[in-house]
Structure 1
């Protein structure tokens, strides 16, 4: 009798339990859906009981599955932590920064040369993640995000700067003269550009400025903030945007912010897994805090 089941079966189980889906586990482990299912069957045959039940489009743990997950997840967490410590101990180990694509493209990359010059010890490696704080197989050394409290469990959060948002428009926009003449009331006649990643942005800004939310009319929508801002720069309409992501465009005259920016309940944060201790994080947080508030 074997003392332990297959390590592949345990990896498949841990990933499926953590992600709540066989498909997502297969994607993370770079195997097929069928391979994950086979490994789970091996585990269930060894236990003599099911570890998952179907729930909607995903799966849920059974009672014995919950017990197994508690033990397996702790073991894998220790393995990941130990491996990460060994990797960080190498002289040439990079510092992995997880960051949403829009923040990466419009804020980090334009400042990357200066960041690397000021903090050469980082050996920065950028990891695009739409939600860098979400649980996944490999945690970054740090994650840059815009988020509101409560902060996610398991992360140490360095607050960098408050988020401020406001409408922005290109000088090339056909309706600019009317907007500047009539002020915010003219927005009710605009087909506003918007993004599905921040559906609350326009309504929140409107309420804060005494504009009836029902008077807003939406035009072209985009899945990511990056595309929304590119459309605004192209003169396709008025967008709602975080100040720090459009400041370079405003300075260069590509965008205008006729009504300024208003603080939200969110902040720019740099988060690190609580169990990790890395002196480079404090230096990076200080650099980013200065850059965001300059």
Structure 2
């Protein structure tokens, strides 16, 4: 290798963001990773260089002069890579369409439907990448992005709605049966709700009366995802159901929490698009049905879809796939 003294390259992005924000939490939010992931990369970088890069206080994080000097060099290098990448990534209008999609939605909803895309739109080639949160079409090598609308979108970005977000607790059928037998939850929906298609949960906000909470989840391990840590709190706020778990477990990504639910580890909050196929196959059930949480998914593009036949074709197909959601 021509550069034997380079530090771990995957640590440089979290390091630069941490120096710029003077905060690992804000760096993690910008990069759409967990605080722990950023902290580990900073530790790896400090170990590699043999120096301390931050002065750590009780509620403060101050980059050292050496850290600021290194961060400035990293920014200069990234600017050069960014400029070269945009030049290399320029594509002809009729070429492949680069689509960025939130990782769990990509894995659990979009990829299983790609054979249908190839069948229905045979002339369209799509290059997929995983990503979440804001996207810069000037900077990032993507043509369109499939995102949940939980962040501000610049006025010059076109937003094409796809489907509303609906959430609810999901678990394996075996775990649901054990909980029912042991009264692990009460007030769950009828079989229509167990199938995951019940829409009557929206009225549950008043089920507990003026000041109380409706019967809910008890005696079970509840599963969290670091990428959406407020999911259980959102469901409780929307439904006013109680959650009194036996234990809690947190996973770094949403798809890991959902896979743990399939395996019977516990109960997770399942956004409908992410659990739809598991509900249909009977690998998961939604005992309390699902409730709209006020957000939705949209296709973001730098121009109206009708100006690019590739984007227009993709949007038509996505909306057809979303009709069942």
Superposition TM-score, scaled by structure 2 size: 0.61
Q: Give the deviation of 1:285 after TM superposition.
A: 1.4
**Aligned counterparts of 2:163 and 2:233: Cα–Cα separation in 1:** 22
Deviations 1:30-71 (A, max 9, x none): xxx9xxxxxxxxxxxxxxxxxxxx9748869xxxx9xxx9xx
**Aligned counterparts of 1:135 and 1:59: Cα–Cα separation in 2:** 25
Q: Give matches, 1:156-195, under 5 Å.
A: 156-173=158-175, 174-178=178-182, 182-183=186-187, 185-195=215-225
Q: Give the deviation of 1:190 after TM superposition.
A: 2.2
Deviations 1:139-192 (A, max 9, x none): 311111222353245532111111111111111214343458623635133221
| Structure 1: segments with no counterpart, 5+ residues | 1-14, 25-32, 34-53
Q: 1:21 to 1:202 in 2, by over 3 A?
A: closer
RMSD of the alignment, in Å?
4.1
Q: Give the deviation of 1:84 after TM superposition.
A: 5.0
Secondary structure of 1:120's aligned partner: coil
**Aligned counterparts of 1:152 and 1:223: Cα–Cα separation in 2:** 29
| Structure 2: segments with no counterpart, 5+ residues | 1-11, 21-26, 28-44, 46-60, 189-214
**Aligned counterparts of 1:22 and 1:186: Cα–Cα separation in 2:** 44
Q: How many residues align?
A: 241
Q: 1:154 to 1:177 in 2, by over 3 A?
A: farther
**In the alignment, is the contact (CA less than 8 A) between 1:168 and 1:256 conserved in 2?**
yes
Q: Give the deviation of 1:283 after TM superposition.
A: 1.9
**Which residue of structure 2 lines up, in the alignment, with residue 210 of structure 1?**
240
Q: Give matches, 1:86-235, under 5 Å.
A: 87-89=91-93, 93-129=95-131, 131=132, 133-135=134-136, 137-148=139-150, 150-152=152-154, 154-173=156-175, 174-178=178-182, 182-183=186-187, 185-211=215-241, 215=244, 218-235=247-264
**Which residue of structure 1 lines up, in the alignment, with residue 321 of structure 2?**
291
**Aligned counterparts of 1:181 and 1:239: Cα–Cα separation in 2:** 14
Q: 1:205 to 1:22 in 2, by over 3 A?
A: closer
**In the alignment, is the contact (CA less than 8 A) between 1:169 and 1:176 conserved in 2?**
no
**Aligned counterparts of 1:217 and 1:157: Cα–Cα separation in 2:** 42
**Aligned counterparts of 2:239 and 2:264: Cα–Cα separation in 1:** 24
Q: Give the deviation of 1:258 after TM superposition.
A: 1.2
2:298 is equivalent to residue 269 of structure 1: yes
Q: Give the deviation of 1:200 after TM superposition.
A: 1.1
**Aligned counterparts of 1:88 and 1:22: Cα–Cα separation in 2:** 38
Secondary structure of 2:293's aligned partner: strand
Q: Give the deviation of 1:290 after TM superposition.
A: 1.9
**Which residue of structure 1 lines up, in the alignment, with residue 284 of structure 2?**
255
**In the alignment, is the contact (CA less than 8 A) between 1:133 and 1:143 conserved in 2?**
no
Q: 1:278 to 1:133 in 2, by over 3 A?
A: farther
Q: 1:262 to 1:186 in 2, by over 3 A?
A: closer
Secondary structure of 1:182's aligned partner: coil
**Aligned counterparts of 1:273 and 1:21: Cα–Cα separation in 2:** 29
**Aligned counterparts of 1:218 and 1:163: Cα–Cα separation in 2:** 27
**In the alignment, is the contact (CA less than 8 A) between 1:99 and 1:132 conserved in 2?**
no
Q: 1:180 to 1:143 in 2, by over 3 A?
A: same
Superposition TM-score, scaled by structure 1 size: 0.67
